[in-house]
Structure formats: C-alpha cells, structure tokens
Amino acid sequence: MSKVQTFAFNNLKDADLIVDAIYEGGMKGHIGDDALSALMGCGNQGGFRAVGGNPNNSGYRLVVLYSSLDDPDWPDYLDIYTGRFTYFGDNKNPGSAIHKTVRGGNKLLRHCFDILHIRGGDRSKIPPFFIFTKGIKGRDVIFRGLAVPGEEGLDSEDLVAVWKSAEGRRFQNYRAIFTILNACVISREWLNDIRSGNPLSYNAPDAWIEWVKDSTYSALKSEPTIEYRTPSQQIPSNAKQRGLVECIYSYFQGDPFAFESCAVEIAKFMDSNIIRCDITRRTVDGGRDAIGVYRIGPKEHPISLDFALEAKCYSFKNSVGVKEVSRLISRLRHRQFGILVTTSFVGLQAYKELKEDKHPVIIICAADIARILTDAGYGTRGAVEQWLMAKFPKTDS
C-alpha cells in the first residue's frame, strides 16, 4: 500500500492543498490543535467555516466545509468516481427556522445557490469551497477537493430543503450538491490571492476559472481499480448504524426465508429503477430468491433488464462465502445481473473472485443496508422496527 502524503501541524500555514493528503492536528490536547484553522485561517469549530463576509452579503473570501462522514441522520457523501459531494446544512436539531442557525451556514448556502441560478449571475461572487473530512486520528483532516455549488445538468435540484423530525418536532435542513473540480493541487499562492480578494489570479486552477467564466463543470472523476471491501468495511462503522441492521437480523432470525421480501424492498430503496421483483418458491427457487426487472432509459422508450436476487440473513459473525456467491453466479442467465443482499458481509476470497472475474453482481452488505435505510428515512432503530412490523407483519403459525 502506498504511503499517503502527510503534512505536519507546524508546517500547515505554508502548505499547499493536495487531494486526499492528510493534514495533522496538534498534540497539546486543546482546541488550538485544530488543523483547519492553522491551514486555512478559518475558525476552529463547526462544519461551515467562512473567511470574510457574512451570510447577508457577498464578501466571502473562501468557505471551508468539514464533515466527519459518519452522521447517520445527515449522511454527507463524497462520490469519488463522479466528483459529486452531498452536504447537509447546519440546522440539524428542532427549534430553529432553516435560515436561523447560529453559524449561518444555511443562509450561506442559499446565498451562493441563489447567485448560481440567476440568469447571467456573476459567479465570481460565489466563493471557492474547500472540502475536508475527518482524519484517522485526533484533529487530523483530509483534503478532498476544491468544490463549487451545483452539478452539470442538475439545475434546481441541487439545493433542496428536506424535512426531518426529532423529539416529536419537525424541522427543515438543506441538502446541497457540490461538484469537486478537477484540480489536484491548490497552491498556497492562490490561497493567499483569495484572502487578498483576487480569486481569479493567474495562480487559480484552470477548472475554477472555467467554472466562473464559462459555467463549465470540470469534475474530478476517478475510475476505480479492482477493489475488495474487507469484512470490517462491510460492517457499519458505528453503533447506531449497526443497530439498524441488527434490528433486521433479529426480526427475521427465526425465519431467514422471510428476509427475502425485506431484501427486495432494500434493493428497491437503493434504486427506484427496479420496477418489479418477485419472490420465488422456496422449494424450487433454482438458486435465486427473487427474479426482477430493472428499467433504464427515457420513459418513452426504455429497455428492461432481468436480474436475480439472493438474500442472506446472517449475523455479523458469519460471512457469505464462495459457495453462496458461486451459487448465485451459476444461476444467472444470459444478459442478467445479480444482487446479493446480506445483513453481514461477503468473505474476502469470494469478494476477490467476484471482482477479478468481473461477474455482474451487486453486493449490498450490512454497511450498505444501514446507509440505504437512513437515506430512505429510517435512520433510527425505532423507525426500522415500525417499518418491519408494518411491511412484514408476523402471523401466528
């Protein structure tokens, strides 16, 4: 495994920004260890950290967006393959209107996206956004890229007010879509130019200039190499997310066949283009727990693809092995793909064979289930329990 480029805390004020590099926090054990304030000259707390200006004017110089990427209620997400970054605003608890947050993050979002959508709007008045996520230890951070509001072809759906509820009260927060621009290195010289009010200097990245002047989204896209998710990567990373999957496993533990219907619904949550998925008979399923149809293309002239689904209701201690994966692969017909849904994980050997042989099988493991349920509005154990009882009621035998 190649070594990740790392910048020591004492060198941050002069460091360039390099995509996916680590910027170390201090070691004194107090808030002065914050890496972002030393690196970017911004505040030392919060997800929104603007430099210059306020939410009521256009005086921003730059904006730092920080995310731990592990909040199941507000699942910020970076798609490194397409360059899309989904970020939730700062009204995360009931009691405030969407634009009345303490740090003004949501008002900042509205201000920037309003400029974006005004015909002929001056994009030079939108500050550059710098995306950072939590590092492995302490106050370390990882630079994920230079971002701008919106995405090519997305238009008005790039900033959406979503409803949530907590403690029996409803409230709104923003879900914002950004594009990570194709700029792998941000020079310290440009950061200094930005702070002095000259973001369009000759030190600016080409992708930034093109976006401001020509409205061109040059996204940082990365083609994946052959990757195998380890068992630990397939299990939810925190107790709350593990609880969502454990709830499903406990509910169907006595009758794992009943989990098949649940697996179908989870697959539909994952992709709304699944238009039909029928459970097969238990005794003659031919290795497939369900057969479905996936539709793609324009509504007027779509095409349909058949797929086979297999469901495995296992505990976190038990893996789906080579035998189970091979069983699904062997039953796939010409031009079919497969979906394997498990409340556990796929063993490393099975995963490697699946990827290396390029079999058309989608893996939905425990970690995926937790994220899919959260995105569908079932981010608490209580919500999942209610969904299970309503959707898959148990009958006395």
| Cβ–Cβ under 8 Å, residues 150 and 178 | yes
H-helix segments, 255-379: 259-270, 322-331, 348-356, 366-375
Nearest in space to 394 (alpha carbons), one of 257, 267, 262, 258 = 258
Q: How far apart are CA 290 and CA 310, in angstroms?
A: 7
pTM exceeding 0.95: no
Tell me the pLDDT tens digit for each residue of 85-124.
999 999 998 988 999 887 889 999 999 999 999 877 889 9
Structure tokens at 3: 């070594």
Which has the higher per-residue pLDDT, 367 or 228? Answer: 367
Phi and psi angles of residue 279, each rounded to the nearest 5 degrees, phi first: -70, 135
Give the helix/strand (H/E) hosting 147: strand 141-149
Q: What is the pLDDT of residues 24-65, one digit of tens each?
A: 999 888 888 999 999 999 988 889 998 886 555 557 899 999
In angstroms, rounded to a whole number, what is the distance separating the alpha carbons of residues 257 and 261? 8
Tokens of 86: 């989904």
pLDDT of residue 284: 45
Domains of the chain: 6-214 (2.30.280.20), 231-391 (3.40.1350.10)
Between these two residues, 334 and 171, which has the higher pLDDT value?
171
Q: What pLDDT, on the 0 to 100 scale, is given for residue 286?
A: 44
- Write down the residue that tokens 């007010």 correspond to: 161
**How far apart are alpha carbons 77 and 71 in whole angstroms?**
10
Question: Mean pLDDT of all residues in the chain?
Answer: 90
The number of angstroms, rounded, from the C-alpha of 142 to the middle of its chain's C-alpha atoms is: 16
pLDDT grade, residue 310 (50/70/90)? very high
Cα-Cα-Cα-Cα torsion 144, 149, 150, 156, nearest 10 degrees, comes to 150
d(CA 178, CA 152): 10
* Contacts of the segment 297-300: beta carbons below 8 A, 24+ positions apart: none
CA 212 to chain centre: 26
What band does 287 get if pLDDT is binned at 50, 70 and 90?
very low
pLDDT of residue 85: 96
Indicate the range of 8-22, 259-273, 298-312 predicted with least confidence: 298-312
Shortest CA distance to 13 belongs to which of 3, 23, 5?
23
In this predicted structure, the answer to whether residue 147 has a pLDDT above a threshold of 50 is: yes
Contact, 344 vs 366, CB < 8 A? yes
- Please tell me the distance from the alpha carbon of residue 5 to that of residue 184, in angstroms, as a whole number: 13
pLDDT above 90 (res 327): no
Q: Which two tokens stand for residue 204?
A: 């600016």
Q: Reply yes or no on whether the pLDDT at 170 is more than 70.
A: yes
Q: What angle do CA 204, 149, 76 make, to 5 degrees?
A: 115
pLDDT digits (tens, 9 = 90+) for 1-21: 457 899 999 999 999 999 999
Q: Which residues pair with 180 in a beta bridge?
A: 147
Instruction: State the pLDDT confidence band at 396, using cuts at 50, 70 and 90.
Output: low
Residue 102 has a pLDDT of: 79
Whether residue 250 is predicted with pLDDT greater than 60 in this model: the reply is yes
